[in-house]
Amino acid sequence: MVELAFSILAADFAHLADEIALATAGGGSIVHVDVMDGHFVPNITFGPPVVAAIRPVTELPLDCHLMIEDPDQFIPAFAKAGADMVSVHVEVCRHLHRTLQHIADNGMAAGVVLNPATPVEAVCEVLPMVHHVLVMSVNPGFGGQKFLPRSVERIAHLARLRRELGLNFRIEVDGGIAHDTVASVVEAGAEMLVAGSAIFQRGRTEANAQEFLRVARAAGGPKA
Residues assigned a catalytic role: 34, 174
* Interface with ligand DX5 (CB under 6 A), residue from 79, 195, 209, 213: 195
CB atoms within 10 A of CB 119: 11
* Interface with ligand DX5 (CB under 6 A), residue from 21, 106, 122, 144: 144
Binding partner at 205 among ligand DX5, Zn ion, none, C-beta below 5 to 8 Å by kind: none
From the list 11-19, 73-81, 143-151, 165-173, the region that binds ligand DX5 by CB under 6 A is 143-151
122 by DSSP, 3-state: which? helix
172 binds ligand DX5 (CB under 6 A): no
CA torsion sign for 64, 176, 41, 172 is positive
Which among 95, 139, 135, 94 is positioned nearest to 112, based on CA atoms? Answer: 135
Strands 30-36 and 62-67: parallel
Cα–Cα distance measured from residue 22 to residue 187, given in angstroms and rounded to the nearest whole number = 27
Cα–Cα distance measured from residue 34 to residue 14, given in angstroms and rounded to the nearest whole number = 16
Binding mask 47-76 for Zn ion (x = CB under 5 A): ------------------x-----------
* Interface with ligand DX5 (CB under 6 A), residue from 48, 111, 140, 189: 140
From the list 4-12, 20-28, 89-97, 157-165, the region that binds ligand DX5 by CB under 6 A is 4-12
